[in-house]
A and B are shown apart, each in its own frame.
Chain A
Amino acid sequence: MPEMNEPGTPQDVLEPQSGAQATDSLSRRRLVVGGLAAVGAAAVAAGTLGRAATAVAAQQPLSDRVVVADPTLCVGCLACEVNCSAWHASVGRSALPRIRILSTPDVKLRAAVAAYLPARAGNTPATCRQCATPWCLPNCPTTGLRIDPRTGNRYISEDDCIACGKCEVDCPVEWQGTLVHKAQVISSKRVVYDPAENVYNKCDLCIGREGGPICVERCPVNLAIRAGYIKSDNLCLDLKRSTEEQWKRLV
Protein backbone atom coordinates (compact mmCIF):
# COMPACT_ATOMS: atom_id res chain seq x y z
CA MET A 1 0.00 0.00 0.00
CA PRO A 2 1.32 3.46 -0.73
CA GLU A 3 2.55 5.40 2.24
CA MET A 4 0.35 8.46 2.30
CA ASN A 5 2.23 10.06 5.19
CA GLU A 6 5.84 10.20 6.16
CA PRO A 7 6.64 7.83 9.03
CA GLY A 8 5.76 9.39 12.33
CA THR A 9 2.88 11.49 11.03
CA PRO A 10 -0.30 10.92 13.04
CA GLN A 11 -2.80 8.80 11.17
CA ASP A 12 -6.39 9.94 10.83
CA VAL A 13 -8.67 8.33 13.33
CA LEU A 14 -12.21 7.27 12.68
CA GLU A 15 -14.18 10.00 14.39
CA PRO A 16 -17.07 12.07 13.12
CA GLN A 17 -15.82 15.45 11.98
CA SER A 18 -17.65 17.24 14.78
CA GLY A 19 -15.17 15.65 17.16
CA ALA A 20 -17.98 13.80 18.90
CA GLN A 21 -17.10 10.37 20.21
CA ALA A 22 -17.92 7.44 17.99
CA THR A 23 -20.42 6.12 20.48
CA ASP A 24 -22.59 9.18 19.85
CA SER A 25 -23.19 7.85 16.36
CA LEU A 26 -26.56 6.27 15.87
CA SER A 27 -26.35 2.56 15.54
CA ARG A 28 -29.20 0.07 15.41
CA ARG A 29 -28.34 -1.24 18.84
CA ARG A 30 -28.51 2.18 20.45
CA LEU A 31 -31.78 3.04 18.75
CA VAL A 32 -33.48 -0.16 19.83
CA VAL A 33 -32.21 0.14 23.39
CA GLY A 34 -33.37 3.74 23.42
CA GLY A 35 -36.87 2.47 22.64
CA LEU A 36 -37.80 4.94 19.93
CA ALA A 37 -41.42 4.57 18.92
CA ALA A 38 -42.36 3.37 15.49
CA VAL A 39 -43.49 6.20 13.23
CA GLY A 40 -45.79 5.38 10.37
CA ALA A 41 -45.09 2.92 7.62
CA ALA A 42 -42.26 3.29 5.20
CA ALA A 43 -41.69 1.46 1.94
CA VAL A 44 -39.58 -1.62 2.40
CA ALA A 45 -37.01 -1.59 -0.37
CA ALA A 46 -35.28 -4.88 0.09
CA GLY A 47 -38.12 -6.84 1.65
CA THR A 48 -35.98 -8.17 4.43
CA LEU A 49 -36.71 -5.53 7.02
CA GLY A 50 -39.30 -6.23 9.65
CA ARG A 51 -41.82 -3.47 10.46
CA ALA A 52 -39.97 -2.38 13.55
CA ALA A 53 -36.70 -2.19 11.74
CA THR A 54 -38.34 -0.33 8.89
CA ALA A 55 -39.75 2.19 11.33
CA VAL A 56 -36.34 2.63 12.91
CA ALA A 57 -34.82 3.17 9.51
CA ALA A 58 -37.45 5.69 8.49
CA GLN A 59 -36.60 8.13 11.30
CA GLN A 60 -32.98 8.71 10.53
CA PRO A 61 -31.54 12.07 9.55
CA LEU A 62 -30.67 12.53 5.91
CA SER A 63 -27.03 12.48 4.97
CA ASP A 64 -26.01 16.02 4.20
CA ARG A 65 -23.73 14.63 1.51
CA VAL A 66 -23.69 11.93 -1.09
CA VAL A 67 -21.18 11.59 -3.93
CA VAL A 68 -22.95 12.44 -7.16
CA ALA A 69 -21.39 11.67 -10.55
CA ASP A 70 -21.90 13.02 -14.04
CA PRO A 71 -20.90 10.23 -16.44
CA THR A 72 -20.75 12.65 -19.37
CA LEU A 73 -17.73 14.23 -17.76
CA CYS A 74 -15.94 11.07 -16.64
CA VAL A 75 -12.83 10.03 -18.60
CA GLY A 76 -12.28 6.77 -16.77
CA CYS A 77 -8.90 7.70 -15.40
CA LEU A 78 -9.63 5.76 -12.18
CA ALA A 79 -8.03 8.44 -9.99
CA CYS A 80 -11.10 8.25 -7.75
CA GLU A 81 -10.82 4.48 -7.28
CA VAL A 82 -7.09 4.54 -6.71
CA ASN A 83 -7.11 7.47 -4.32
CA CYS A 84 -10.06 6.01 -2.41
CA SER A 85 -8.19 2.77 -1.97
CA ALA A 86 -4.90 4.45 -1.04
CA TRP A 87 -6.37 6.88 1.49
CA HIS A 88 -8.47 4.31 3.28
CA ALA A 89 -5.49 1.95 3.45
CA SER A 90 -3.37 4.76 4.89
CA VAL A 91 -5.76 5.18 7.82
CA GLY A 92 -6.00 1.46 8.45
CA ARG A 93 -9.31 0.79 6.70
CA SER A 94 -10.28 -1.59 3.92
CA ALA A 95 -8.49 -0.79 0.67
CA LEU A 96 -11.18 -2.04 -1.72
CA PRO A 97 -12.25 0.99 -3.73
CA ARG A 98 -15.64 2.22 -2.55
CA ILE A 99 -16.38 4.09 -5.76
CA ARG A 100 -16.21 2.12 -8.98
CA ILE A 101 -16.19 3.21 -12.60
CA LEU A 102 -18.47 1.06 -14.68
CA SER A 103 -17.74 0.66 -18.36
CA THR A 104 -20.82 2.00 -20.13
CA PRO A 105 -19.93 2.35 -23.82
CA ASP A 106 -23.15 4.18 -24.71
CA VAL A 107 -22.37 7.14 -22.49
CA LYS A 108 -21.04 10.02 -24.54
CA LEU A 109 -18.60 12.62 -23.32
CA ARG A 110 -19.66 16.23 -22.94
CA ALA A 111 -18.23 18.27 -25.81
CA ALA A 112 -15.96 20.27 -23.51
CA VAL A 113 -14.23 17.09 -22.35
CA ALA A 114 -14.43 15.20 -25.64
CA ALA A 115 -12.46 18.06 -27.15
CA TYR A 116 -9.47 16.92 -25.05
CA LEU A 117 -10.05 13.22 -24.67
CA PRO A 118 -12.30 11.85 -27.40
CA ALA A 119 -11.12 8.28 -26.94
CA ARG A 120 -12.14 8.10 -23.31
CA ALA A 121 -15.94 8.18 -23.31
CA GLY A 122 -18.15 5.48 -21.85
CA ASN A 123 -17.61 5.66 -18.08
CA THR A 124 -20.07 5.76 -15.19
CA PRO A 125 -18.86 6.33 -11.62
CA ALA A 126 -21.08 4.74 -9.00
CA THR A 127 -20.92 4.49 -5.23
CA CYS A 128 -23.06 4.21 -2.11
CA ARG A 129 -26.14 6.40 -2.43
CA GLN A 130 -26.30 7.35 1.26
CA CYS A 131 -29.97 6.36 1.09
CA ALA A 132 -32.44 8.67 2.82
CA THR A 133 -33.83 5.54 4.42
CA PRO A 134 -30.66 3.72 5.50
CA TRP A 135 -31.65 0.17 4.62
CA CYS A 136 -28.24 -1.17 5.60
CA LEU A 137 -28.50 0.01 9.20
CA PRO A 138 -31.38 -1.72 11.01
CA ASN A 139 -30.21 -5.31 10.81
CA CYS A 140 -26.61 -4.66 11.76
CA PRO A 141 -26.14 -6.74 14.92
CA THR A 142 -23.23 -4.67 16.23
CA THR A 143 -22.17 -1.04 16.18
CA GLY A 144 -20.54 -1.50 12.78
CA LEU A 145 -23.06 0.33 10.62
CA ARG A 146 -23.47 3.83 12.03
CA ILE A 147 -24.96 7.22 11.26
CA ASP A 148 -23.05 10.33 12.23
CA PRO A 149 -25.61 12.47 14.10
CA ARG A 150 -24.08 15.71 12.90
CA THR A 151 -23.81 14.91 9.18
CA GLY A 152 -26.09 11.94 8.62
CA ASN A 153 -23.14 10.08 7.07
CA ARG A 154 -23.99 6.38 6.83
CA TYR A 155 -20.68 4.62 7.39
CA ILE A 156 -19.21 1.42 8.69
CA SER A 157 -16.96 1.49 11.71
CA GLU A 158 -14.72 -1.25 10.41
CA ASP A 159 -13.24 -1.99 13.82
CA ASP A 160 -16.69 -3.05 14.98
CA CYS A 161 -17.88 -4.83 11.85
CA ILE A 162 -18.17 -8.58 12.33
CA ALA A 163 -18.69 -9.21 8.61
CA CYS A 164 -22.05 -10.88 9.06
CA GLY A 165 -23.24 -9.54 5.70
CA LYS A 166 -26.72 -8.40 6.71
CA CYS A 167 -26.07 -4.90 5.43
CA GLU A 168 -25.21 -6.38 2.06
CA VAL A 169 -28.48 -8.31 1.96
CA ASP A 170 -30.50 -5.18 2.73
CA CYS A 171 -28.64 -2.77 0.45
CA PRO A 172 -30.96 -1.89 -2.46
CA VAL A 173 -28.23 -0.73 -4.87
CA GLU A 174 -25.93 -2.79 -7.02
CA TRP A 175 -22.89 -2.55 -9.25
CA GLN A 176 -23.67 -4.63 -12.32
CA GLY A 177 -21.64 -4.96 -15.48
CA THR A 178 -18.01 -4.49 -16.43
CA LEU A 179 -15.58 -2.24 -14.66
CA VAL A 180 -13.23 0.07 -16.52
CA HIS A 181 -10.49 -1.33 -14.26
CA LYS A 182 -9.09 -4.34 -16.07
CA ALA A 183 -12.50 -4.98 -17.64
CA GLN A 184 -13.48 -6.98 -14.56
CA VAL A 185 -17.05 -8.18 -14.35
CA ILE A 186 -18.82 -6.94 -11.24
CA SER A 187 -22.08 -8.10 -9.75
CA SER A 188 -22.49 -7.00 -6.17
CA LYS A 189 -24.18 -4.62 -3.82
CA ARG A 190 -22.43 -1.37 -3.07
CA VAL A 191 -21.56 -2.53 0.39
CA VAL A 192 -19.05 -5.24 -0.23
CA TYR A 193 -17.05 -7.84 1.66
CA ASP A 194 -13.29 -7.34 1.79
CA PRO A 195 -11.61 -10.68 2.48
CA ALA A 196 -8.26 -8.99 3.09
CA GLU A 197 -9.61 -7.22 6.16
CA ASN A 198 -12.61 -9.46 6.90
CA VAL A 199 -14.97 -6.51 7.04
CA TYR A 200 -17.64 -4.97 4.87
CA ASN A 201 -16.79 -1.70 3.23
CA LYS A 202 -18.75 1.07 1.60
CA CYS A 203 -18.35 4.70 0.83
CA ASP A 204 -17.95 6.47 4.15
CA LEU A 205 -17.50 9.93 2.65
CA CYS A 206 -13.89 9.65 3.86
CA ILE A 207 -15.05 10.28 7.40
CA GLY A 208 -12.18 11.74 9.43
CA ARG A 209 -10.47 13.21 6.41
CA GLU A 210 -9.90 16.93 6.42
CA GLY A 211 -11.10 18.04 3.03
CA GLY A 212 -13.80 15.40 2.84
CA PRO A 213 -14.20 12.78 0.13
CA ILE A 214 -10.89 12.32 -1.65
CA CYS A 215 -12.52 11.27 -4.94
CA VAL A 216 -14.28 14.63 -5.24
CA GLU A 217 -11.16 16.53 -4.28
CA ARG A 218 -8.78 14.75 -6.64
CA CYS A 219 -10.85 13.99 -9.73
CA PRO A 220 -8.76 15.41 -12.61
CA VAL A 221 -11.90 16.55 -14.43
CA ASN A 222 -12.99 18.43 -11.32
CA LEU A 223 -9.57 20.05 -11.15
CA ALA A 224 -9.80 21.04 -14.81
CA ILE A 225 -13.26 22.51 -14.27
CA ARG A 226 -12.19 24.43 -11.17
CA ALA A 227 -9.14 25.71 -13.02
CA GLY A 228 -11.35 26.86 -15.87
CA TYR A 229 -9.93 24.95 -18.79
CA ILE A 230 -12.99 22.77 -19.01
CA LYS A 231 -16.17 24.83 -19.03
CA SER A 232 -18.93 23.15 -17.12
CA ASP A 233 -21.73 24.20 -14.81
CA ASN A 234 -21.27 21.08 -12.73
CA LEU A 235 -18.47 18.86 -11.53
CA CYS A 236 -17.79 15.30 -12.59
CA LEU A 237 -17.90 14.15 -8.97
CA ASP A 238 -19.80 16.37 -6.57
CA LEU A 239 -21.44 16.29 -3.16
CA LYS A 240 -25.16 16.83 -2.76
CA ARG A 241 -27.63 16.48 0.07
CA SER A 242 -29.00 12.97 0.01
CA THR A 243 -32.79 13.36 -0.28
CA GLU A 244 -35.27 10.87 -1.73
CA GLU A 245 -35.41 13.07 -4.83
CA GLN A 246 -31.65 13.05 -5.20
CA TRP A 247 -31.58 9.29 -4.66
CA LYS A 248 -33.80 8.76 -7.68
CA ARG A 249 -31.41 10.76 -9.85
CA LEU A 250 -28.32 8.86 -8.76
CA VAL A 251 -26.60 6.23 -10.81
Chain B
Amino acid sequence: MKRFEHTNATSVQEAVKLLSAQNARALAGGTDLLGIMKDELLPTDRVVNLKTIPGLDYIKEESGELRIGALARLADIAASALVGQKAPALAQAALLVASPQLRTMGTLGGNLAQKVRCWYYRDPDRADCYKRNGSVCYAVFGLSDLHAIFDGAACFAVQPSDTAIALSALGASIVVAGPDGQRVVGVDSFFIGPDVDYMRETALKRDELIVEVRIPASAVGQKSVFLKAAPRKSIDFARGSVAVLVIGSPVQSVRISLGAVAPTPKRATEAETFLTGKKLQADVIGQAATLSTSGAKPLASNGYKVQLTQGLVRQALTRLAG
Protein backbone atom coordinates (compact mmCIF):
# COMPACT_ATOMS: atom_id res chain seq x y z
CA MET B 1 0.00 0.00 0.00
CA LYS B 2 1.29 3.45 -0.82
CA ARG B 3 2.06 5.94 1.93
CA PHE B 4 -0.87 8.07 2.97
CA GLU B 5 -1.64 10.68 5.58
CA HIS B 6 -4.21 9.81 8.25
CA THR B 7 -6.06 12.72 9.81
CA ASN B 8 -8.79 12.79 12.46
CA ALA B 9 -11.66 15.17 11.79
CA THR B 10 -13.30 16.53 14.93
CA SER B 11 -16.19 18.23 13.20
CA VAL B 12 -18.12 18.01 9.94
CA GLN B 13 -16.70 21.36 8.80
CA GLU B 14 -13.18 20.17 9.48
CA ALA B 15 -13.83 16.94 7.58
CA VAL B 16 -15.10 18.90 4.56
CA LYS B 17 -11.95 21.05 4.61
CA LEU B 18 -9.71 18.03 4.90
CA LEU B 19 -11.55 16.25 2.07
CA SER B 20 -10.82 19.09 -0.35
CA ALA B 21 -7.20 17.92 -0.68
CA GLN B 22 -6.37 15.92 -3.75
CA ASN B 23 -7.04 12.19 -3.36
CA ALA B 24 -8.50 12.60 0.11
CA ARG B 25 -10.98 9.88 1.12
CA ALA B 26 -13.47 9.72 3.94
CA LEU B 27 -12.96 6.86 6.39
CA ALA B 28 -15.79 5.64 8.59
CA GLY B 29 -15.83 1.89 9.26
CA GLY B 30 -13.35 1.42 6.43
CA THR B 31 -14.86 -1.86 5.27
CA ASP B 32 -14.80 -0.72 1.64
CA LEU B 33 -12.09 1.95 1.68
CA LEU B 34 -9.32 -0.26 3.08
CA GLY B 35 -9.86 -2.88 0.37
CA ILE B 36 -9.92 -0.15 -2.28
CA MET B 37 -6.67 1.25 -0.94
CA LYS B 38 -4.97 -2.13 -0.85
CA ASP B 39 -5.96 -2.77 -4.46
CA GLU B 40 -5.07 0.81 -5.41
CA LEU B 41 -8.41 1.29 -7.14
CA LEU B 42 -8.63 4.94 -6.11
CA PRO B 43 -5.48 6.96 -5.49
CA THR B 44 -5.49 7.87 -1.80
CA ASP B 45 -3.04 10.35 -0.39
CA ARG B 46 -5.02 11.34 2.66
CA VAL B 47 -7.52 9.46 4.78
CA VAL B 48 -9.94 11.61 6.77
CA ASN B 49 -11.19 9.69 9.79
CA LEU B 50 -14.81 10.57 10.50
CA LYS B 51 -15.14 8.40 13.61
CA THR B 52 -13.65 11.18 15.70
CA ILE B 53 -16.59 13.43 14.88
CA PRO B 54 -18.89 13.14 17.90
CA GLY B 55 -22.66 12.85 17.66
CA LEU B 56 -23.13 11.48 14.14
CA ASP B 57 -24.31 7.99 15.09
CA TYR B 58 -27.76 8.75 16.41
CA ILE B 59 -31.00 6.98 15.58
CA LYS B 60 -33.96 9.13 16.53
CA GLU B 61 -37.44 10.26 15.69
CA GLU B 62 -37.77 14.00 15.11
CA SER B 63 -40.59 16.01 13.59
CA GLY B 64 -42.29 12.78 12.60
CA GLU B 65 -39.25 11.69 10.59
CA LEU B 66 -36.80 8.95 11.39
CA ARG B 67 -33.33 10.50 11.36
CA ILE B 68 -30.18 8.41 11.38
CA GLY B 69 -26.69 9.80 11.60
CA ALA B 70 -24.35 8.71 8.82
CA LEU B 71 -21.96 7.13 11.32
CA ALA B 72 -24.60 4.87 12.85
CA ARG B 73 -23.30 1.32 12.61
CA LEU B 74 -25.30 -1.14 10.53
CA ALA B 75 -25.47 -3.51 13.52
CA ASP B 76 -27.08 -0.80 15.63
CA ILE B 77 -29.59 0.04 12.93
CA ALA B 78 -30.43 -3.64 12.56
CA ALA B 79 -30.92 -4.00 16.32
CA SER B 80 -32.80 -0.75 16.83
CA ALA B 81 -36.34 -1.21 18.09
CA LEU B 82 -37.25 2.21 16.69
CA VAL B 83 -36.12 1.33 13.17
CA GLY B 84 -37.60 -2.15 13.43
CA GLN B 85 -41.01 -0.73 14.25
CA LYS B 86 -41.05 2.46 12.18
CA ALA B 87 -39.08 1.48 9.05
CA PRO B 88 -38.77 -2.30 9.02
CA ALA B 89 -37.35 -2.46 5.47
CA LEU B 90 -34.29 -0.54 6.61
CA ALA B 91 -33.76 -2.67 9.71
CA GLN B 92 -34.10 -5.82 7.59
CA ALA B 93 -31.69 -4.50 4.96
CA ALA B 94 -29.12 -3.48 7.58
CA LEU B 95 -29.30 -6.95 9.11
CA LEU B 96 -28.67 -8.61 5.75
CA VAL B 97 -25.59 -6.59 4.85
CA ALA B 98 -22.35 -8.59 4.78
CA SER B 99 -21.58 -10.35 8.07
CA PRO B 100 -21.74 -9.63 11.81
CA GLN B 101 -18.16 -8.35 11.96
CA LEU B 102 -18.66 -6.05 9.00
CA ARG B 103 -21.95 -4.77 10.39
CA THR B 104 -20.20 -3.87 13.64
CA MET B 105 -17.71 -1.68 11.81
CA GLY B 106 -19.70 -0.57 8.79
CA THR B 107 -21.78 2.59 8.88
CA LEU B 108 -24.90 3.64 7.05
CA GLY B 109 -23.09 6.47 5.25
CA GLY B 110 -20.34 4.14 4.15
CA ASN B 111 -22.81 1.55 2.96
CA LEU B 112 -24.49 4.16 0.76
CA ALA B 113 -21.23 5.58 -0.60
CA GLN B 114 -19.48 2.31 -1.37
CA LYS B 115 -18.00 1.57 -4.79
CA VAL B 116 -19.36 -1.13 -7.07
CA ARG B 117 -18.37 -4.78 -6.84
CA CYS B 118 -18.04 -5.52 -10.56
CA TRP B 119 -15.23 -8.07 -10.76
CA TYR B 120 -13.63 -6.31 -13.69
CA TYR B 121 -13.68 -2.96 -11.89
CA ARG B 122 -12.25 -4.55 -8.77
CA ASP B 123 -9.48 -6.43 -10.58
CA PRO B 124 -6.31 -4.39 -10.06
CA ASP B 125 -4.36 -6.42 -12.61
CA ARG B 126 -6.67 -5.54 -15.47
CA ALA B 127 -6.46 -2.54 -17.79
CA ASP B 128 -8.83 0.20 -16.66
CA CYS B 129 -12.50 -0.01 -17.46
CA TYR B 130 -14.63 3.13 -17.92
CA LYS B 131 -15.27 3.45 -14.21
CA ARG B 132 -11.51 3.50 -13.67
CA ASN B 133 -11.15 6.26 -16.29
CA GLY B 134 -10.26 3.69 -18.93
CA SER B 135 -11.76 2.90 -22.28
CA VAL B 136 -13.73 -0.33 -22.10
CA CYS B 137 -16.43 -2.29 -20.32
CA TYR B 138 -15.45 -5.94 -20.01
CA ALA B 139 -18.85 -7.11 -18.86
CA VAL B 140 -20.71 -6.41 -22.11
CA PHE B 141 -18.91 -9.28 -23.85
CA GLY B 142 -17.61 -10.99 -20.75
CA LEU B 143 -19.05 -12.49 -17.58
CA SER B 144 -22.09 -10.51 -16.65
CA ASP B 145 -23.68 -12.65 -13.91
CA LEU B 146 -23.72 -9.82 -11.40
CA HIS B 147 -24.44 -6.99 -13.76
CA ALA B 148 -27.37 -4.80 -14.67
CA ILE B 149 -30.47 -5.84 -16.60
CA PHE B 150 -31.78 -2.26 -16.60
CA ASP B 151 -30.28 1.14 -17.39
CA GLY B 152 -26.73 0.11 -18.19
CA ALA B 153 -25.02 2.86 -20.17
CA ALA B 154 -21.36 2.20 -20.98
CA CYS B 155 -21.03 0.75 -17.46
CA PHE B 156 -23.20 -2.16 -16.29
CA ALA B 157 -22.11 -2.48 -12.67
CA VAL B 158 -24.98 -2.54 -10.16
CA GLN B 159 -25.47 -0.49 -7.01
CA PRO B 160 -24.34 -2.95 -4.30
CA SER B 161 -25.85 -1.35 -1.19
CA ASP B 162 -28.77 -3.15 0.45
CA THR B 163 -29.69 -0.14 2.58
CA ALA B 164 -29.86 1.96 -0.60
CA ILE B 165 -32.68 -0.22 -1.89
CA ALA B 166 -34.60 -0.02 1.36
CA LEU B 167 -34.18 3.75 1.53
CA SER B 168 -35.31 4.08 -2.08
CA ALA B 169 -38.56 2.31 -1.22
CA LEU B 170 -38.94 4.44 1.90
CA GLY B 171 -38.56 7.63 -0.11
CA ALA B 172 -35.71 8.77 2.09
CA SER B 173 -33.57 11.90 1.83
CA ILE B 174 -29.83 12.11 2.28
CA VAL B 175 -28.31 15.11 4.03
CA VAL B 176 -24.95 16.01 2.52
CA ALA B 177 -22.39 18.42 3.97
CA GLY B 178 -20.00 20.33 1.75
CA PRO B 179 -18.00 23.56 1.57
CA ASP B 180 -21.18 25.58 0.96
CA GLY B 181 -23.05 24.04 3.88
CA GLN B 182 -25.62 21.29 3.90
CA ARG B 183 -28.01 20.18 1.22
CA VAL B 184 -30.81 17.61 1.29
CA VAL B 185 -30.94 15.24 -1.66
CA GLY B 186 -33.86 12.92 -2.33
CA VAL B 187 -32.80 9.28 -2.65
CA ASP B 188 -33.94 9.20 -6.28
CA SER B 189 -31.43 11.96 -7.09
CA PHE B 190 -28.71 10.82 -4.71
CA PHE B 191 -27.82 7.75 -6.75
CA ILE B 192 -26.71 8.61 -10.27
CA GLY B 193 -26.46 6.41 -13.33
CA PRO B 194 -23.41 5.92 -15.55
CA ASP B 195 -25.12 8.07 -18.17
CA VAL B 196 -24.59 11.01 -15.80
CA ASP B 197 -21.09 10.07 -14.66
CA TYR B 198 -19.78 6.56 -15.00
CA MET B 199 -16.97 7.16 -12.52
CA ARG B 200 -19.34 7.91 -9.64
CA GLU B 201 -22.31 6.12 -8.09
CA THR B 202 -23.70 8.99 -6.00
CA ALA B 203 -24.19 12.70 -6.28
CA LEU B 204 -21.46 13.28 -3.67
CA LYS B 205 -18.75 15.64 -4.81
CA ARG B 206 -15.14 15.01 -3.87
CA ASP B 207 -15.28 17.20 -0.78
CA GLU B 208 -18.72 16.22 0.46
CA LEU B 209 -19.87 13.67 2.98
CA ILE B 210 -23.17 12.19 4.04
CA VAL B 211 -24.16 13.36 7.52
CA GLU B 212 -27.70 12.09 7.94
CA VAL B 213 -30.40 9.94 6.41
CA ARG B 214 -34.04 10.94 6.86
CA ILE B 215 -37.11 8.80 6.40
CA PRO B 216 -40.15 11.00 5.79
CA ALA B 217 -43.14 11.08 8.08
CA SER B 218 -45.29 9.65 5.29
CA ALA B 219 -43.27 6.43 5.43
CA VAL B 220 -42.60 6.19 9.15
CA GLY B 221 -44.70 3.50 10.78
CA GLN B 222 -46.01 2.14 7.46
CA LYS B 223 -45.63 -1.46 6.34
CA SER B 224 -42.41 -2.20 4.52
CA VAL B 225 -40.20 -5.18 3.80
CA PHE B 226 -36.78 -5.95 2.36
CA LEU B 227 -35.80 -9.28 0.81
CA LYS B 228 -32.45 -10.32 -0.55
CA ALA B 229 -31.37 -13.25 -2.71
CA ALA B 230 -27.76 -14.37 -2.48
CA PRO B 231 -25.83 -17.63 -2.79
CA ARG B 232 -24.96 -17.88 0.91
CA LYS B 233 -26.94 -16.93 4.00
CA SER B 234 -24.33 -14.38 4.95
CA ILE B 235 -21.53 -12.27 3.48
CA ASP B 236 -22.67 -12.12 -0.18
CA PHE B 237 -23.79 -9.06 -2.04
CA ALA B 238 -27.29 -9.39 -3.42
CA ARG B 239 -27.87 -11.21 -6.69
CA GLY B 240 -31.33 -9.68 -6.51
CA SER B 241 -33.19 -7.76 -3.85
CA VAL B 242 -36.42 -5.88 -3.35
CA ALA B 243 -37.82 -3.36 -0.92
CA VAL B 244 -41.49 -2.48 -0.79
CA LEU B 245 -43.33 0.21 1.12
CA VAL B 246 -47.12 -0.06 0.99
CA ILE B 247 -49.70 2.25 2.47
CA GLY B 248 -53.33 1.26 2.74
CA SER B 249 -55.51 -1.61 1.67
CA PRO B 250 -56.67 -1.22 -1.07
CA VAL B 251 -53.25 0.16 -1.94
CA GLN B 252 -53.16 3.91 -1.62
CA SER B 253 -49.51 4.24 -2.41
CA VAL B 254 -46.70 1.77 -3.00
CA ARG B 255 -43.00 2.03 -3.75
CA ILE B 256 -41.17 -1.00 -5.07
CA SER B 257 -37.41 -0.73 -5.35
CA LEU B 258 -35.32 -3.41 -7.03
CA GLY B 259 -31.71 -4.12 -6.13
CA ALA B 260 -28.78 -5.68 -7.99
CA VAL B 261 -30.45 -5.12 -11.34
CA ALA B 262 -29.41 -1.57 -12.23
CA PRO B 263 -26.63 0.92 -11.56
CA THR B 264 -28.99 2.71 -9.19
CA PRO B 265 -31.94 1.48 -7.10
CA LYS B 266 -34.57 0.64 -9.71
CA ARG B 267 -38.16 1.60 -9.08
CA ALA B 268 -40.68 -0.80 -10.58
CA THR B 269 -42.98 2.02 -11.66
CA GLU B 270 -45.25 -0.05 -13.90
CA ALA B 271 -45.91 -2.48 -11.07
CA GLU B 272 -46.50 0.43 -8.68
CA THR B 273 -49.05 2.01 -10.99
CA PHE B 274 -50.78 -1.33 -11.50
CA LEU B 275 -51.09 -1.97 -7.77
CA THR B 276 -52.47 1.42 -6.83
CA GLY B 277 -56.13 1.10 -5.87
CA LYS B 278 -56.04 -2.68 -5.72
CA LYS B 279 -55.98 -5.18 -2.85
CA LEU B 280 -52.91 -7.36 -2.46
CA GLN B 281 -54.42 -10.68 -3.52
CA ALA B 282 -52.52 -13.53 -5.10
CA ASP B 283 -53.47 -12.83 -8.73
CA VAL B 284 -52.79 -9.10 -8.39
CA ILE B 285 -49.47 -9.84 -6.76
CA GLY B 286 -48.56 -12.23 -9.56
CA GLN B 287 -49.28 -9.63 -12.23
CA ALA B 288 -47.32 -6.98 -10.36
CA ALA B 289 -44.37 -9.35 -10.11
CA THR B 290 -44.40 -9.87 -13.87
CA LEU B 291 -44.66 -6.13 -14.53
CA SER B 292 -41.75 -5.39 -12.22
CA THR B 293 -39.22 -6.56 -14.79
CA SER B 294 -40.75 -5.07 -17.92
CA GLY B 295 -38.16 -3.42 -20.11
CA ALA B 296 -35.33 -5.56 -18.73
CA LYS B 297 -32.56 -6.20 -21.22
CA PRO B 298 -30.22 -8.83 -19.84
CA LEU B 299 -26.65 -9.34 -20.91
CA ALA B 300 -25.16 -12.73 -21.70
CA SER B 301 -25.26 -14.34 -18.25
CA ASN B 302 -27.63 -12.35 -16.07
CA GLY B 303 -30.94 -13.35 -17.59
CA TYR B 304 -31.69 -15.30 -14.43
CA LYS B 305 -32.20 -11.97 -12.66
CA VAL B 306 -35.50 -11.46 -14.45
CA GLN B 307 -37.17 -14.47 -12.84
CA LEU B 308 -35.29 -13.96 -9.60
CA THR B 309 -36.57 -10.40 -9.32
CA GLN B 310 -40.13 -11.41 -10.13
CA GLY B 311 -39.96 -14.07 -7.43
CA LEU B 312 -38.64 -11.59 -4.88
CA VAL B 313 -41.36 -9.09 -5.71
CA ARG B 314 -44.00 -11.80 -5.36
CA GLN B 315 -42.65 -12.88 -1.99
CA ALA B 316 -42.32 -9.32 -0.71
CA LEU B 317 -45.87 -8.37 -1.67
CA THR B 318 -47.20 -11.60 -0.21
CA ARG B 319 -45.54 -10.85 3.12
CA LEU B 320 -47.02 -7.36 3.17
CA ALA B 321 -50.46 -8.72 2.32
CA GLY B 322 -50.42 -11.20 5.17
Residues of A within 8 A of B (CB): 1-4, 7, 75-79, 81-83, 85-86, 116-117, 119-120, 181-183, 217-218, 220-221, 223-224, 229-230
Contact = CB atoms under 8 A, between A and B. Distances in A.
Interface stretch (B64-72, B84-92, B134-142, B277-285): B134-142
Contact of B154 (A83, A116, A120, A229): A83
Contacts of A217: 135
Given A116-B141, A119-B298, A119-B303, 4 more contacts: A2-B197, A77-B153, A83-B154, A220-B137
B6 interface: no
B295 A77 contact: no
A82 B195 contact: yes
A79 B154 contact: yes
Contacts, number: 74
Size bracket, chain B contacts: 20 to 34
Interface in B192-222: 194-195, 197-200
Contacts of A229: 141
Interface string B120-161: 000000000010010111001100000000011111100000
Interface of B: 22, 130, 133, 135-137, 140-141, 151-156, 194-195, 197-200, 295-300, 303
Nearest to B136: A223
Contacts of B153: 77-79, 81-82, 181
B149 to A, nearest CB: 8
17 contacts: A2-B198, A3-B199, A77-B153, A79-B130, A79-B137, A79-B153, A82-B198, A86-B197, A86-B198, A117-B141, A117-B299, A120-B299, A217-B135, A220-B140, A220-B141, A223-B141, A230-B141
A78 B140 CA distance: 11
Q: Which 4 interchain pairs have the tightest Cβ spacing? A: A82-B154, A78-B153, A79-B154, A220-B140
* Residue among A75, A76, A78, A81 having the largest count of chain B Cβ atoms under 10 Å: A78
A230 B140 CA distance: 12
A218 B135 contact: yes
A120 B296 CA distance: 10
Contacts of B195: 78, 81-82, 85, 181-182
